A and B are shown apart, each in its own frame.
Chain A
Amino acid sequence: MALDSKSDTQTRDFKVVGTRPNRPDGIDKVTGRARFGADITAPGMLIGRVLRSPHAHARIVSIDTSQAEALAGVRAVVTSADFNKIEDDDFTADILDNCMASEKAMYDGHAVAAVAASSEAIAKRALKLITVEYEVLPHVTDVDAAITADAPVLHEGRTDETVPAGMSGNVISRFEFGHGDIEAGLAAADKVLERSYKTEATHQGYIEPHACMASMGPDGQADLWCCTQGHYMVRNTCAAIFGMEQGQLRVTASEIGGGFGGKTTVFLEPVALALSRKSGRPVKMVMSRSEVLRATGPTASSSVDIRLGMTKDGRITGARAELRYQGGAYPGSPVEFGSMSAFAPYDLEHVKTVGWDIVTNRPKQAAYRAPGAPMAAFAVESAIDELAKGFGLDPLEVRLKNAAREGTKSSYGVTYPAIGLEATLRKAKDHPHWTAPLGPNQGRGVACGFWFNFGGDTCVSLNITPDGTVTVSEGNPDIGGSRASMSMMAAEELGIPYEKVRTIVADTGSLGQNEVTDGSRVTFAVGLATIEAARAAKREMCRRAALVWGIDEEAVEWIDGAAQPAGPNAGDHPPMTLAEIAATASNTGGPIAGHHEANPEGAGVSFATHMVDTEVDPDTGAVKILRYTVFQDAGKAVHPAYVEGQFQGGAVQGIGWALNEEYIYGEDGVLQNAGFLDYRIPVASDLPMIDTVILEIPNPGHPYGVRGVGETSIVPPLAAIANSVSESAGVRMAQLPMSPPKVLAAMQSK
């Protein structure tokens, strides 16, 4: 069979890909018909609630649950004693300990017990009847304070072999990247800037709190419905925690009201399973917003020291960054990715980054869009901007002068293939935004950002129904429009209208292993698998047509949604459409399907440039975003509206991170702002329309040239906004968030 697919993504004439059809989940979501995590119910269902530590750091001396268990309506109470101890797997043991504290409460809000009762009111009353005796311990929540000699040490023996002897036990790992001779590079500069930068922890801020319902039977089989970015990850993690066979736990993903990386691990799910196992009843658990903020992963906070040398004409001669990230109470801050990505946009002869993973008495961090990269970019891009402006140079020209290109040896060691950074910079420079006039107290900032992207295990099953419509089953929760994108790629490949394809997210019993919806991987990897599944179905449909026509299957090709005879000896047969082949499938061999299972690797790296105008109120320090433009390479935008949404969403989350969002801890280590009234994410009235410019530089690793776009867009905003506000305020802002009191104080101190 010959396919009409062209291998050259740049010359392919797309018919469906690149259009903007209505989203398939739109009506469900605006009418309330969509079922999110908290919407799942079952007969006999109990309500589970969690008791959380009021202390930032405390040894759990004892837990008395007898009074709670005696309360009418309470069906089960669990503590860490109800879970197996995981001896040989630190990664899973930390996840379990974060879900249910064992020996110590490690942060304010850490789960210490949970109940399942016939109503929420009874469950809440039962929590008050649980007596926990704590031995309160000294705590530390600041990343720099945590590595001082007198800081309380959270864990013993968790420091790995990369950390020099004599450092605090709160230092877990050290990472070093780079090449060249830093001191020689800095010596060649006309000016060397040394400055320290700090960012606060921010939450992913998804609108839907964590929710799940678990049902575990006495036969050991279990079902779990939950709001997650990866239900296969939930299955595998819970199976490991409970010592179950993965096949005995079926997990179904609900609709998801945002995740941004924060739903790439488990929090409630093991607890709900334990309560269900103990009570013999289904158990539903839903977090409050306060619980989400206190006990689920924010991103890391950071403290970064930069040394950057530049010549008068804007050439960076040497660059060094020392990055300290705290990732909460367990190892695993994303400092290695900050260290790898910090200088990734630039072609540098002498560059070095050193990253330190540090633990503090805060909730265990979870991934947040391009984990670790925005904080590093904030420091690096701020320093570049300060030097460039100090020399009176155009900050875009300076970035172009130093931009990484094909053949550049990156700061993390890889030599780049064709990349799109320079294209985003040139688009930015040519955009009318760059030359638009500014008023008093206004400033303009730019910054670049980089993210890796990856693929991972992926399965897709594509079925041809008897009436000629098509269903696609994928195993990744649709968090950014993947059902629309998969339907579009299937329609494109099959040559049928988009409306003839419906894509669903299948449960863990229906497909093989699927990696989490993360790493900007889904449109790339699941899209690739969808295209290959469609190609498999096309091959089979060509074979069926060949049978009907009585010719060799090699003499049939698929063009415009139909099998057609090809070549001089194929004979004269009218095309057989997909619907015609489907209608006779029972007569020609049975149902027709295509499927593809693979671990697609080779996702292309991604770059973006952001430009933002701000105005600072000189009396209050309040910052207003006046105009914002995102320039990013998408490889190929399958559904441009979703791509624009990803660009805009990253920019807006970055605006919140830059201007207002922060975890505020009191002297007692208790989180002071565990609610959206005090933890302020941007709302629509805070924002202008975010303008977007999509560049399409095809990724050779994907049949249609697709490149992941979900994460890179949050990398430049922190720095772009800081560069803009520094200009508006007339003082360099080196700490986030730039909330009104901090901006005002900076202006008054200049």
Chain B
Amino acid sequence: MVQVRIWGSLAAATEGQTEVEIKAGTLRELLDGLAEKYPGLRPQLKRGVSVAIDGRIYNDSWFQPIQPDSEVVLLARLKGG
């Protein structure tokens, strides 16, 4: 299980929690797990998210490993100029 920190305005979809537990060993499993456990997150997941794993930000790498003690933070999908 990994602890996932989500931003505040998504807490309505996670029963008010800003930290949730998901069984995941990779980024893909994490995103799938979030969508399955918290269907209310699906609209945001569809719009796009980035995920910070131990301080590094990932946008797309499904198979990026996540360790059980990793810090995992869900972020709005990053864009740049």
Name A's B-contacting residues (CB within 8 A).
Answer: 160-162, 174-178, 204, 260-262, 264, 334, 336-337, 340, 352, 354, 367-371, 412-417, 452-457, 518-521, 599, 601-603, 701, 711
Contacts and interface: CB of A to CB of B under 8 A. Distances in A.
Given A415-B71, A601-B61, A369 B81 contact: yes
Interface size class of B (residues with CB under 8 A): 20 to 34
B75 A340 contact: yes
A337 B7 contact: no
Contact of A599 (B5, B13, B57, B60): B60
Contacts, number: 106
A712 to B, nearest CB: 11
A368 to B, nearest CB: 5
Contacts of B52: 413-414
A677 to B, nearest CB: 26
Interface in B59-81: 59-61, 64, 71, 73-76, 78-81
13 contacts: A162-B12, A174-B9, A176-B7, A261-B81, A334-B79, A340-B75, A413-B52, A415-B55, A453-B80, A457-B60, A599-B59, A601-B56, A601-B58
A175 B74 CA distance: 12
B57 A260 contact: no
Contact of A601 (B13, B64, B79): B64
Given A175-B7, A176-B8, A415-B71, A370 B56 contact: no
Interface string B1-43: 0000101111011000000000000000000000000001001
Contacts of B55: 414-417
Given A601-B57, A602-B56, A367 B5 contact: no
A413 B73 contact: yes
- Interface centre among A369, A518, A601, by most B CB within 10 Å? A601
Contact of B81 (A367, A457, A601): A367
Contacts of A178: 8
Contacts of B57: 414, 452, 454, 601-603
Contacts of B10: 162
Contact of B9 (A162, A452, A455, A711): A162
B81 A370 contact: yes
Nearest to A416: B55
A337 B80 CA distance: 10
A452 B60 CA distance: 16
Given A370-B80, A417-B56, A602-B58, 10 more contacts: A178-B8, A204-B81, A264-B81, A371-B79, A413-B74, A413-B75, A601-B57, A601-B60, A602-B57, A701-B56
Contacts of B43: 160-161
A331 to B, nearest CB: 10
Report whether over half of chain B's contact residues are helix, strand or loop; otherwise say mixed. mixed
A522 to B, nearest CB: 10
A602 B10 CA distance: 25
Nearest to A371: B81
Given A176-B8, A178-B8, A340 B80 contact: no
B76 A601 contact: no
Contact of A412 (B13, B56, B75): B75
Given A367-B79, A414-B52, A454 B73 contact: no
A417 B53 CA distance: 11
A343 B74 CA distance: 18
- Interface centre among B10, B55, B61, B80, by most A CB within 10 Å? B80
Contacts of B73: 412-414
Nearest to A331: B47
Given A177-B7, A178-B8, A518 B80 contact: yes
B8 A177 contact: yes
B80 A711 contact: yes
A414 B57 CA distance: 9
A340 B76 contact: yes
A108 B80 CA distance: 26
Contacts of A520: 80
Contacts of B59: 454-456, 599, 601
Given A413-B5, A456-B59, A518 B81 contact: yes
A412 B24 CA distance: 22
A368 B79 CA distance: 10
B80 A261 contact: yes
B57 to A, nearest CB: 6
A377 B54 CA distance: 25
Contacts of A455: 59
- Interface centre among A204, A368, A599, A701, by most B CB within 10 Å? A599
The 3 A-B residue pairs whose C-beta atoms are closest, nearest first, are: A261-B81, A519-B80, A176-B8
A175 B9 contact: yes
A690 to B, nearest CB: 19
